[in-house]
Amino acid sequence: MKILAFDTAARACSAALFEDGRILASRLREMERGQAEVLLDVVQEVLAEAGASFAGLDRLATTLGPGSFTGLRVGLAAARGLALAGDLPVVGVTTFEAVAHGVTAVEREGRLLLVALDTKRGDLYVQAFDSTLTPLAEGEVLAPAACARFEGEGPLLIVGDGASLLREVFGQNSRAVRWSEAPGHPEAAVIARLAAAREPSPALRPIYLRPPEARLPDG
């Protein structure tokens, strides 16, 4: 089963082609913005490197969020467009899962994994996983200080592009808290592996975790 996975939810654009337990080709470009201009070229590079074509794909996979609203739209519009174009099933993976599964089992052992993603608005998208990578609660938006409560739940391993916002909250020297060496952003190769073991999503709905900013008129 050939799976094409890609991600544009955070500060990168990545794509990977996966078949029979291995990655045939992958690309990751770190970028703050501009994913819309490179995604399809990156995808085509990956297919070309693997000697594959769109017509030979069996499944697509991408990130559902949370993340940059713009990044989510770029990735999900492309996924929905490709799915429609090729009548392909799509597996949606949360950004939390994608980041969590990028952490090695050795690092995670005996620790609660806290995925903290930078919302770029001063707070964090947060979700905690146990050492088997089962989520312990729904993802949520939290101020950095509000994350202190996780310290009471056991030894922590923190990962994600928002991890740096928690340095002050937990302190550099806290023995109960460790900082993961993992990249902390979603990678298409990880998403592809996850997608191979899952059922396709019936509807590819974005996870924003934040309502649109809009104010009702007075009165």
Partner 1 sequence: MIVLGIESSCDETAAAVVNDQRQILAECLHSQVAAHEPYGGIVPEIAARAHLDYLDEIVAGVMADARLTFDDLDGVAATAGPGLIGGLLVGTMTAKAIAAFHGLPFLAVNHLEGHALSFRLLEDLDFPYLLLLVSGGHSQFVIVEGVGTYRLLGSTVDDAVGEAFDKTAKLLGLGYPGGPKIEELAKQGNAKSFDLPRPMIGRKGCELSLSGLKTAVRQTVARLAGDSIPSGDLANIAAAFQTAIGDVLVDRSGNAIRQFQARYPGREAFVIAGGVAANQYLRTRLSELVKGEGMRLHVPPQKLCTDNGTMIAWAGVERLRLGLTDGFDFAVKPRWPLDPHASSKGGGEVHS
What residues make contact with partner 1 under the rule CB under 8 A? 34, 36-41, 43-44, 54, 69-70, 73-74, 76-86, 206, 208, 212-217
DSSP for 46-98?
HHHHTT--GGG--EEEEEEESS-HHHHHHHHHHHHHHHHHHT--EEEEEHHHH
Please say which residue, 39 or 114, places its beta carbon nearer to partner 1. 39
Least separation in angstroms between CB 69 and partner 1: 7
Quick one: residue 145, left, alpha or beta (phi over 0 = left, psi -120 to 50 = alpha)?
Answer: alpha
- Nearest residue (CB) to partner 1, 70 versus 174: 70
Residue placing its CB nearer to partner 1 in the complex, 8 or 127: 8
CB of 209 to partner 1, least distance (A): 13
Task: Report helix angle 69-86 to 35-49, nearest 10.
Answer: 40
Question: Tokens 């989520």, residue?
Answer: 135
CB of 20 to partner 1, least distance (A): 23
Shortest CB 71 distance to partner 1, Å: 10
Separation of alpha carbons 83 and 90, rounded Å: 7
Considering beta carbons, is residue 77 or 146 the nearer one to partner 1? 77
